[in-house]
Structure 1
Amino acid sequence: MVGVNHCVAHIEVGRERCGCDDPVLLYASGGNTQVIARLDGRYRVLGETLDIGIGNMLDKFAREQGIPFPGGPKIEQLANQWLESNPHPTLDGLELPYAVQGMDLAFSGILNAALNLVEKGKPLEAVCWSLQEHAFAACVEVAERAMAHAGKSELLLGGGVACNERLRSMCDMMSKDRFASSHVPIKPLCIDNGSMIATLGRLQLLWGEPTRLDESGVRQDLRTDETPILWN
């Protein structure tokens, strides 16, 4: 038996399938949002959400609009509909709070502001577009800062929100501006999946890290940087 760290599993399946070596990971999921880089034998959290994960924020907004779980794909669809009818959109009247706080992020304020825009009669499609633009830009900004701070030239996307095509394109544009590369696994490997657990389990087993039964258990508070990274 091999116990694995959920977030590290997202990193390792992305590294293996995308062929990247030493990336900064933008981990955008329902339960968490973190920017991570490998430093001194650990995956270090360089920035993270201070309140709710970006996927959780999108799902809460969707639920208030009567959109079933998961809300992210429908929000993406509505945002694209706004772009189709407004090829040159502006944020005038659709401004939302700045979600970046140093190297960290906070999404509660942007959620409440987006809900207020809908209550004021702004088109739902327009608010979905603005919500994506603001939230994703914040994530990409922190990821870019992390790449500069850690001296990395690769960006890896992981987590369920990494399925969003707009987030993917924003990461790609930022990376090209930095003469870096952006990587993202196929969508079934972005969401939680068995392949990522097996990938990390195999790595740990190869490096001699089986888990004794009497030491096994579930730790929901296990941090990314608590797992030693012994492999290359």
Structure 2
Amino acid sequence: MISLGIESTAHTLGIGIIDSNGKEYSDVKSSYMPPFGEGIHPREAARHHSNKASFLIKGALKEAKLKPTDLKLISFSRGPGMGPCLRTGAVIARSLSGFYNIPLVGVNHVVSHIEIGKMLTKAKDPVILMVSGGTTQISSHVDDHYTIFGETLDISIGNCFDKFSREVGIHDPNNPWPGPVFDKVAAKGKKYFELPYSVKGMSVSFSGLLTAAIRLVKEEGVSIENAAYSLQETALSMLTEIAERAIAHTRAMELLVVGGFARNKRFQSMLQEICDDWNLKMHICPYRYASDNGTMIAWGGILQYKAAGSLKPEESLVLPDWRSDEVKIIW
């Protein structure tokens, strides 16, 4: 079974094609670039997705050397995400499904991140750390759901670093998010300044930390490099602590890190230390599929379709607030 997946939850429109054996045929994407110093404008991002959809779908099929009639499933991100962006992806998916008479499946974006990570790394029963621009949570498969042990109580780790970067002028003209440039700036920091450390059980809070880090630069004259370094060390220490708590709670033998922030090298080194202490294996989702992409949606669609069948168009409304622990994992 060959599935085409459409990812459109935020700034990226991704089209990916994969089959039920895990063979990857193509993965293409295009990202909305917000104006300098600004975040994502949902309606502008949705307009970008609409304008790029035909080009990307044709490109994915050409790269895969497939015709639309070779597809056996159309999968799309149903949520969580930005409403206008999700609706644009859903319309594209319904149009393809209806025109070519191909079954339609809507999948949870976070669960798809987890499932592509598990498939690619061969992780069996890991503690899962999902870290991205929109989500920060730690979970594990319990019975027939991904049970969330802890999560952000306000903003995500990616959003925290992005907002700090915009406020102090860290910018990457080639990417819609400043994460990789932020990492380079933080790596130049030499002096640590104490910042609020907020861990509550296995949940975290980043908003106070963000405000204090911005204040270091704007009110206390601390260099951007040292403030970024202090912000990174504090935030990542918080996440490492809750990861270790989840490991101790579950006695898991594996840790799987998924989401775009999984690419942060400093974070990986911190997590590796606790994995060594607990004698467990750490899996990092391959970088190409760590950030938002269509292939993870295509794979999630295959799992969902095999377990529960397809959606009727009238059942395919988007779910912007759809939590991963609301999805029944029956595959």
Q: Could you say whether these structures have the same fold, taking a TM-score greater than 0.5 normalized by the shorter chain as the test?
A: yes
In 2: Cα distance, 1:79 partner to 1:12 partner: 31
Matched with 1:165 is 265
State yes or no: 1:153 paired with 2:253.
Answer: yes
State yes or no: 1:78 paired with 2:180.
Answer: no
In 2: Cα distance, 1:64 partner to 1:98 partner: 21
- Alignment match of 1:215 (pick from 276, 291, 315): 315
Residue type of the partner of 1:176? Answer: D
How far off is 1:19 after superposition?
A: 1.0
Matched with 1:107 is 206
Matching of residues 1-232 of structure 1 within 5 Å: 1-68=104-171, 69-82=176-189, 86=190, 91=192, 94-119=193-218, 120-231=220-331
1:7-46 deviation line (CA, Å, top 9, x unaligned): 0001000001111111111111111211111111100111
Unaligned stretches of 5+ in structure 1? none
How far off is 1:207 after superposition?
A: 2.3
TM-score by structure 2 length? 0.65
1:101-125 deviation line (CA, Å, top 9, x unaligned): 1211100011011111112111211
How far off is 1:145 after superposition?
A: 0.9
1:137-159 deviation line (CA, Å, top 9, x unaligned): 11111111112212312111111
How far off is 1:209 after superposition?
A: 3.0
Unaligned stretches of 5+ in structure 2? 1-103
User: What's the C-alpha RMSD, in Å, of the aligned pairs?
Assistant: 1.3
SS of alignment partner, residue 252 of structure 2 = coil
1:39-84 deviation line (CA, Å, top 9, x unaligned): 11100111011111111111110001122341221110012223xx
In 1: Cα distance, 2:217 partner to 2:253 partner: 39
How far off is 1:181 after superposition?
A: 1.0
TM-score by structure 1 length? 0.92
Q: 1:171 to 1:209 in 2, by over 3 A?
A: farther
In 2: Cα distance, 1:152 partner to 1:214 partner: 41
**Greater percentage in strand:** 2
In 1: Cα distance, 2:194 partner to 2:181 partner: 21
In 1: Cα distance, 2:113 partner to 2:313 partner: 24
In 1: Cα distance, 2:199 partner to 2:142 partner: 23
Residue type of the partner of 2:126? Answer: P
In 2: Cα distance, 1:17 partner to 1:176 partner: 22
Amino-acid identity (%): 44
SS of alignment partner, residue 167 of structure 1 = helix
- Contact 2:117 2:286 (C-alpha < 8 Å) held by counterparts: no
In 1: Cα distance, 2:262 partner to 2:308 partner: 32
- Contact 2:149 2:202 (C-alpha < 8 Å) held by counterparts: yes
In 2: Cα distance, 1:10 partner to 1:58 partner: 21
